[in-house]
Amino acid sequence: MKFGIIVFPGSNCDHDCYHAVKHVFGQKAEYIWHRETDLRGVDCIILPGGFSYGDYLRTGAIARFSPVMNDVLKFAGRGGLVIGICNGFQILAEAGLLPGVLMRNKTLRFICRNVCVRVENSQTIFTSAYRKNQILNIPIAHADGNYFADSDTIKRLEDNEQIIFRYSTADGEITEDANPNGSVNNIAAVINDKGNVLGTMPHPERVCESVIGGTDGRGVFEGILSKI
Amino acid sequence: MKAKVYVTLKKGVLDPQGKAVGSALKSLGYNEVKNLRIGKFMEIEFDGSSKQNAEKRLKEMCEKLLANTVIEDYRVEIE
């Protein structure tokens, strides 16, 4: 399987994604510069974390108009698999591929630490390797991860089971204390209604090997690989 | 031509930054401060002669890029 990792000016988790896909899972991986307009026949696109365009104006607001994004929109429209991690999630939200928006953390602080998330839906292509209600220990590293959408949108996401991960306690309870950034309903990751575009603030690519701190992120890649 | 664009958070959208700045004013003794919200102000210089056309173009700019209408409202003043 071939993964394409989009590189925007200011991306800084592109190498982590490349390493996970290529060296941990032994798949083909290619960097795609944001000015390119050829996705080179990839099977899955990853928009990595970072600070594309310095987060100017709003996170993801300018990257969303990079030339490559036209092709990403078409690719997603055809049912192609797209994962946005952290800044990648912010870009997908700005591009309208995912509902809602990631606002400044409620604490106003950049948070870089491991958190617990609960798997809310294990019936998606990205989460089929997990069990429903499984607790993952996974890092977050962001200043703007406070997920917000209007109440109608939140209801739709809840009803359609489009919420994929929720910040939780280690026992899987969804509490305010377990919510690091103020996200509505502790939302940490969502999927689009067609099920082919995932946005996640936690970084699965950073926890794919025990030697660097954990393996709870592997399931995202294993899920994809088992389906393709 | 010149325009001023104000982008502000919609009512009901939490503004922790505004809240923190409001509390800071209170701690400086400005106890009359009840609420403070932070927005963005942009000045745009552009080519054009018709105010009507400029209004249309500026609205497009706001909708496309300058504001995220999920959480923000915008207001344009053309000079």
The total domain count for chain A is: 1
pLDDT digits (tens, 9 = 90+) for B15-73: 999 999 999 999 999 999 999 999 999 999 999 889 999 999 999 999 999 999 999 99
Percent helix, strand, coil in chain A, to 5, is: 30, 30, 45
CA distance B30 to chain A (A): 23
Kindly list the catalytic residues of A. Answer: 86, 203, 205
Q: Which domains does chain B have, with CATH numbers?
A: 2-78 (3.30.1280.10)
Between chains, do B13 and A104 touch, taking CB under 8 Å as contact?
A: no
A99 located within any domain? yes
Provide CB contacts within 8 A for A217, sequence distance 6+.
A20, A136, A138, A202, A203, A204, A205, A206, A207, A208
3-state DSSP assignment of residue B40:
strand
Full residue range of the structural domain in which residue A78 is found: 2-103+145-164+189-227
Provide CB contacts within 8 A for A120, sequence distance 6+.
A132, A133, A161, A163, A164, A165, A166
Between chains, do A182 and B14 touch, taking CB under 8 Å as contact?
A: yes
pLDDT digits (tens, 9 = 90+) for A141-180: 999 999 999 999 999 999 999 999 999 999 999 999 999 9
Q: Are B8 and B76 in contact (CB under 8 A)?
A: no
Between chains, do B65 and A149 touch, taking CB under 8 Å as contact?
A: no
pLDDT digits (tens, 9 = 90+) for A8-61: 999 999 999 999 999 999 999 999 999 999 999 999 999 999 999 999 999 999
CATH number assigned to the domain comprising residue A8: 3.40.50.880
- What ipTM was assigned to the predicted interfaces of this complex? 0.86
pLDDT at A228: 72
**Amino acid code (one letter) for B9:** L
Name the phi and psi angles at A36, rounded to 5.
Answer: -75, 155
Q: Are A48 and A29 in contact (CB under 8 A)?
A: no
A109 located within any domain? no
A176 located within any domain? no
Name the phi and psi angles at A110, rounded to 5.
Answer: -75, 130
A177 located within any domain? no
A87 located within any domain? yes
Question: What pTM was estimated for this model as a whole?
Answer: 0.95
